[in-house]
Every structure is written in structure tokens, then in C-alpha cells.
């Protein structure tokens, strides 16, 4: 069994019944000495594969998972977790994915093939290579895909096909686990508030907008203090931190883009993301990801 706190050894999340697809990004992350704990909150799923050391995920509800080498952690959508190093030399792979509905006019004979499961499927949020060797094999194959080897003669959609294979293995493991385990499971707590969900979506859609807590609170007929309290209760983080996080995600994309045949400068990226100070942007980027904007451009990866 994967090692973790006894209270969360059977922590699960419900996997949607649909077709998985690659989303956002994937890659390897090496935890650098001095990196502060990082808050993770995504609109999609993220599957982590610990490759060295030990990593800790602490959830907003107080649950905690500690994963060692060749153990896996699943972070569901809209679930806040703070990841930190539990043992030196920590490194992990990450891969984001999501689900889309099957075709509306699907023949009944193929319905199972497109859905994989009809009833709610509880997916363990923490498990080991020994428990799910097929997941390990599929993740390893995905990690080995080298984009530099792509050519006009190579098969397309290698990453997408590898992702579907990985989640198919995860789904099969979850079904076997659900049938065989006699231990009670507990769904990861996800606090939902339609007002906060809409607010988060607005910020995600326009992260560079000069958002002000007072104006956002007024749009919901709340005081700034009340909005901050509700936001933290629902997401596990502060509204200001969420805004900064969304801007940093935008920066990840802009730092890799060229404009008129040249890279955007750090100052240009900072301004395009809504930061008033390049120094503040660089400091936040380094604090959040463990290295600076230019290091990321030169090949650094983030989870």
C-alpha cells in the first residue's frame, strides 16, 4: 500500500464518465532547495508521479498525503492543495488532463467504450506502483515522448494517445480497487459556492485585468472582509493569492511565446500579465516555481 496518514489512506474523488484528453501541460519538476510550499488549484485534473524524495500535499480540509518514490497522487479539479518537500531531493512528474462528453449520437453498442463506467467511479488519490503497475507503465511511456523527435513522417497525437492510455489504466485500476476493497472510502471535500466559482472564472478568463478586492466584493454585494472569508473557506487560499496565481499561469505561456521573431522581455511579460512591478513579478515567480522567469524560458518545468 502507498504510505500516507491513516485518516486519508482511502481518500477518493469521483472520476467523470467521459473521454479523457490532454490539458494545460505536463513535465518533470525538481524541488530546488529553499523553495517555499506551493499552493495548487487547477480547473482540471493533475496526476503526479513522485520520482525521488518524498512530497507532501496538504488539502484545505486538513487532509494530508505524503508520497514517496514511485507513488502517485491525484489532484482533482477545484481542490486546493499545498505541496511541499517532505524529504530532500524531491522530484516528480505531473500531467494535467480533463474529460469531454462522448458523441451525442453514439450507438448503444459503443457506449461503454466511450464512457468506461456508468456509475460514479471513486479514484484513489494516493497509490503506489506496486498497486497499479499498468498506471506506472503508461506514465513512463508518456514521459519518454520526446518532442524533438517529431517530424513529417512521425505519427501525430503521440502525447494525446499516451494520455488516453494512462487514464484508461487509471480507470481500470480504480474499478478493480472499488470492487475489491472492503475498507470505507471518503470523498475529498470540495466546498462549492456558485458566486465564488463565477468569480474565479472571471479572473481565469482575464487574469491581467486590474482586479480590486473592493470592486469584486461590491459586485457580489459583500464587504471585502466577508468576500475574503468566503473565498478562503471555499478555495483554501486568499483572493489576492488566487489573482497572482492566475497571472503567473499566464506568464508561463507568454514566456514561451515569440513576438515578431523575438522573445518578450521579462518586463513586457510582467506588464502583459497585470503586474505593476517587474521586480515583484520576478520575486513572485521565483517564490512560486522555485526559479526565475528566464530560467523557465530556458527549460525549467513547473507542476
Residue ranges per domain, the chain?
6-187, 194-297
Checking 254-263 for CB contacts under 8 A at 24+ apart, the result is: 255/293, 255/296, 255/297, 256/297, 263/297
3-state SS string for 208-235: CCCCCHHHHHHHCCCCHHHHHHHHHHHH
Assign 286 a pLDDT band (cuts: 50, 70, 90).
confident
Burial of 100 (0-12, 13-18, 19+ CB in 10 A): exposed
Instruction: Identify each DSSP E strand in the chain by its residue range.
Output: 11-15, 19-30, 38-40, 45-59, 64-67, 71-75, 81-100, 121-124, 126-128, 186-187, 258-259, 262-263
Q: Is a pLDDT exceeding 90 seen at residue 223?
A: yes
Position 302 scores a pLDDT of: 57
Q: CA–CA separation, 98 vs 303, rounded Å?
A: 16
Task: Give the Cβ contact number of residue 146 at 10 Å.
Answer: 8
Q: Is a pLDDT exceeding 80 seen at residue 282?
A: yes
- The CATH number, out of the four listed (3.40.1190.10, 2.70.150.10, 1.10.10.60, 3.90.25.10), of the domain defined by the range 194-297: 1.10.10.60
Cell 486590474 found at: 210
Q: Of 200-204, 221-225, 256-260, which range is least confident?
A: 256-260
Q: Of 66-75, 102-111, 222-231, which range is least confident?
A: 102-111
Mean pLDDT for 279-291 is 86
pLDDT, tens digit, 9 for 90 and up, residues 22-57: 987 888 888 888 788 888 878 789 999 999 999 999
Q: Is a pLDDT exceeding 50 seen at residue 6?
A: no
Question: What's the whole-model pTM score?
Answer: 0.70
Q: Answer yes or no: are the C-beta atoms of 87 and 53 closer than 8 Å.
A: yes
Q: Is a pLDDT exceeding 70 seen at residue 228?
A: yes
Position 245 scores a pLDDT of: 86
Between the CA atoms of 226, 228, 231 and 232, what dihedral angle is there, to the nearest 10 degrees? Answer: -120
Position 105 scores a pLDDT of: 74
pLDDT, tens digit, 9 for 90 and up, residues 90-112: 999 999 999 988 777 777 777 77
Which grid coordinates belong to 262?
Answer: 523575438
Q: CA–CA separation, 219 vs 127, rounded Å?
A: 43
Assign 7 a pLDDT band (cuts: 50, 70, 90).
very low
For the chain, first and last CA: distance in Å? 25
Q: Answer yes or no: are the C-beta atoms of 288 and 15 closer than 8 Å.
A: no
Which grid coordinates belong to 89?
Answer: 531531493
Burial of 22 (0-12, 13-18, 19+ CB in 10 A): buried
Helix ranges restricted to H, 95-238: 111-115, 133-143, 158-180, 194-205, 213-219, 224-235
Residues contacting residue 46 through CB under 8 Å, at least 6 positions apart: 40, 74, 75, 94, 95, 96, 97, 303
Element (H, E) at 70: none
Which grid coordinates belong to 255?
Answer: 514566456
Of the segments 32-46, 101-115, 131-145, 146-160, which one has the largest average pLDDT value?
A: 131-145
- The CATH number, out of the four listed (1.10.3720.10, 2.60.120.10, 2.40.50.100, 3.10.100.10), of the domain defined by the range 6-187: 2.60.120.10
Q: Answer yes or no: are the C-beta atoms of 7 and 63 closer than 8 Å.
A: yes
Q: Answer yes or no: are the C-beta atoms of 303 and 51 closer than 8 Å.
A: no
Amino acid at each position: 500500500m502507498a504510505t500516507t496518514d491513516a485518516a486519508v489512506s482511502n481518500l477518493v474523488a469521483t472520476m467523470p464518465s467521459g473521454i479523457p484528453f490532454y490539458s494545460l501541460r505536463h513535465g518533470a519538476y525538481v524541488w530546488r532547495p529553499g523553495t517555499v510550499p506551493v499552493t495548487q488549484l487547477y480547473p482540471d485534473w493533475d496526476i503526479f508521479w513522485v520520482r525521488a524524495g518524498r512530497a507532501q500535499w496538504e488539502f484545505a480540509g486538513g487532509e494530508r498525503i505524503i508520497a514517496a518514490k514511485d507513488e502517485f497522487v491525484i489532484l482533482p479539479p477545484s481542490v486546493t492543495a499545498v505541496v511541499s518537500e517532505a524529504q530532500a531531493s524531491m522530484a516528480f512528474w505531473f500531467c494535467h488532463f480533463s474529460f469531454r462528453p462522448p458523441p451525442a449520437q453514439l450507438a448503444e453498442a459503443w457506449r461503454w467504450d466511450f464512457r468506461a463506467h456508468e456509475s460514479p467511479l471513486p479514484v484513489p488519490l494516493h497509490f503506489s506502483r506496486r498497486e497499479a503497475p499498468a498506471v506506472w507503465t503508461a506514465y513512463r511511456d508518456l514521459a519518454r515522448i520526446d518532442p524533438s523527435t517529431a517530424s513529417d513522417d512521425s505519427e501525430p497525437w503521440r502525447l494525446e494517445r499516451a494520455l488516453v492510455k494512462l487514464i484508461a489504466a487509471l480507470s481500470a485500476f480504480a474499478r478493480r480497487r472499488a470492487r475489491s476493497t472492503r475498507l470505507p472510502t471518503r470523498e475529498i471535500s470540495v466546498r462549492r459556492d456558485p458566486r465564488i466559482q463565477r468569480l474565479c472564472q472571471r479572473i481565469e478568463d482575464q487574469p491581467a485585468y486590474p482586479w480590486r478586492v473592493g470592486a469584486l466584493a461590491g459586485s457580489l454585494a459583500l464587504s471585502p472582509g466577508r468576500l475574503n472569508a468566503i473565498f478562503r473557506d471555499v478555495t483554501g487560499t486568499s483572493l489576492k493569492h488566487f489573482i497572482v496565481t492566475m497571472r503567473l499561469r499566464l506568464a508561463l505561456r507568454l514566456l514561451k511565446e515569440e513576438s515578431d521573431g523575438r522573445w518578450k522581455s521579462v518586463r513586457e511579460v510582467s506588464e502583459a500579465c497585470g503586474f505593476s512591478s517587474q521586480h515583484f513579478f520576478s520575486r513572485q515567480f521565483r517564490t512560486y516555481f522555485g526559479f526565475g522567469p528566464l530560467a523557465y524560458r530556458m527549460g525549467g518545468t513547473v507542476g
